[in-house]
Structure 1
Amino acid sequence: MEMTSNSPDMREDGNETPHDGGLGVVGEVLAASADLSVMLSPDGTVTSVVPGRGIDAFAGLDAWVGRKIEDLLTSESVPKLRRALGTLERGEAGARPVELNHVDGEAWEFPVRYTLLRYGADGSVLMAGRDLRAVAETQSRLVQAQMSLEQGYEARREFDTRYRLLLRTVSDAVVFLSASDGRVVDLNEPAAALLGGTRDALGGKPLSRALKDSERGDLIEMLTSAAVTEDGTPVEVVSLAGDRRLTLRPQLFRAGGERFVIARILSADGADAQDDSLGTNLAQLYAKGTDAMIFTSIKGEILSCNDAFLELIDAAHLSGVKGQSIASYLARGQIDVNVIVDHARRSGHLRAYSTQIVNDLGAETPVELSAIYLNDRTHPELGFILRDTSRSEALRSSTGGIRGGDESSRGVMELVGSATLKEIVAETTEVVEKMCIETAVHLTRNNRVAAAEMLGLSRQSLYVKLRKYGLLARDTDTDSDD
């Protein structure tokens, strides 16, 4: 019995096919060749939907019939469809398939690549689609894998930075050795000094080359044996340079499938007794030195200073400056302090930063400042050394040397050699950016709209940067966004 055009066709499995708008044989061809076919009327209304055979996920799309196709697409896909329809209407050759994302409320979303064809004389459009969900899923997994790799790289770089900072700042002499061949994997400066060499010269070389009467195999055997003993018996050796008697206290560990030995090196001949005389010499240098020296809290509050600094600011006694902020004596005030503290905390030190010291009478003296971040304690501190450069300034002025504005960049120039250009630019850019944002917020009395206009930023961009630098925690009582 022949079916009428108003009754749905029956599949071989007994299920009804979606509305095909009377496509007949064409609908069968579309079902066999395309994953999803959609027929549009000239005004963009869906007149029929034909899912591909075996594509169960596209079943039940009868609800599309009678609806505008644009209502079934994401907002990003609507302009793409309009451009494709315009190209088809103009009859331009070489029209490419267009990828559209279908959406039905918030229930689900899936991508389809459509090829648009004219159908019939009334201006109807046939959209023959290919399911892209598998491709989208693969792309999503690729993006997730890439993000995981990036996070892994960032974590590794962060760990490497912590490791190298710890190795550089720890006062104990430490050396890492490969348990298989006895080569030096890494060591710090105190260890290199006790062994009579440098980190570059000793790195990658067998430790036995820096010791007298030591064979590589025998040394590794002694170190590994000492590392596994319960009492931790040290290994005594003699350095080749200076015949210094040393004691190695090894520990064995495994990383990346390989065994390594970390050994703490101690001097066995009392060489550490120099520490007392060194402390005395440093105390004398601090008290009688011609360069001004200051120790402050991490916020810049003066904890102690020597007589050279008191003379520089014309102060009578330490009690008059103790507890004061060092920003009170700098020409650019808190701006200088922010730059100095940020650089010192990032790289551990700041060298040759040019600024001016202002005394209580308002007189300004050009100085060259160095700062050191002292974080080997519960409450980190900052150490400053200031040198009066008024004479050299006069000399440079008379000879046409570096002037005013260029001097402020010398602190940044001193970073060359200790970091890559990319790292230097990134660090200095962030410091200057944070400093400018803080200044704008302060000048506008925390008016975020005015600050954004002052900086030439959108309000949203300013909030992003405030959140980035932890500046959103300000008192909002005076915040005036309107």
Structure 2
Amino acid sequence: MTTVNLAQPDLTLHLDRDGVIRDTTLSDRIETGGLQPWHGRPWSETVTASGFATIERMVKDAWRTGVSAFTPVNQLFPSGAELPLEYTTVRLGGDAGLLAIGRRFHVVADLQSRLIAAQQAMERDHWRLRDVEIRYNLMFNGANDPLLLLDAATLRITEVNPAAGRLLGVGHDWSFIDQIAKPSQPVFHAMIQRARTDGQAPGVIVQLGTPRESWIVRASLADGGVVPSYLLHLTPVAASPRGTTLPDRSVCPALIARLPDAFVIIDRDGVVRQANAAFLDLIEAASDAVVLGARLDRWLDGSGNDLAMALELIRNHGRIMTMPSVIHGEYGAVVEVEISASSDDGMIGLLIRDTSRGAIRGGAGNGDPLQAALGALSLEVGPTTMHEAVDQTVAAVEQHFIRAALEQTAGNRKAAAALIGLSRQSLYLKMNRYDLE
């Protein structure tokens, strides 16, 4: 491999006292033909007209001080080529004359142009970053939902938007984990861990503030800065991600928590947003912190196929009438279930019935008191009005369900009321009415 010594001159001129060229030396880096026509001619005649005065000054400086400063000159070669060179002139000892040493000026000019281009690129990047920063500030500070930046190492708040300060009452350098109710902290830590490994994580429901209110929190990893951060997007549970209003939380427990069958609300991705106590019992979970923010296929079927099928049916038909499946509990229990579902405003409600237990739906064999009561009523059609027949039928059904529920719960009235979907007060009234004390 051939190396080029850039310290060597590209062109060397040996001049006499009057600046006339006596000899020339040309490096291999310049290909302009022979320089014999220059010999015996003044150096000033081999440059452009703008360089006459420059050459004369360089010669005088060299004779006076011994060496002249480097000066750019446009050199005209015998071949007709014009090449910018940078010269310095050195005085030799005695009557030896002068030595003009030239190197290609375009190397310096190229370096200058590169520096200028780099500076312009830096300025463009600066203004581009400023534009990105302005857009970020407009989006971050103008968002209606609370947005927070957390330090990835300490989970302390490094930046909040106005909505977060207004709705959550949090500020810079606050510990976000201290704002979360202790039962919600494990599910929040699990979401943060998933965001650390996957870059983002689906939302979970946590209890924040005083008084404790439910918020859907989504996290994504923002590692573009010096220190990695988490960007949190918070949405009130009372509002869906699309801005639509979910049922009032004061109503949902009254309708859902009392259901004897498991009931769960999931989003379009299969992530659990709400579950009743019967569902927690079915999957052997200690609290809703285990299920909120997790996918339903963690317990449903186990392979994920049933959830995918259910979501597909919901997308195509809007509801599911009956769908058999299997629930796998946290501690290994396997329960056969039947699922019915419907969707509204992006949320899906699933009613999951345990078909393995001997529920009060069956028992229609011989000697069944309900069947006997209903059969006796059929003999009275004619003398009895329809209104009276309906009242007697309802009474017979209610008595049967109350007796069966009390039998299954070993006389526990609270459990019996929950089993048949009544409040304890309503159960006591009906027991008094039918003399079932």
Give the TM-score of the pair, scaled to structure 2: 0.40
Higher-Rg structure is 2
Q: Which has the higher contact order (CA 8 A, sep 6+)?
A: 2
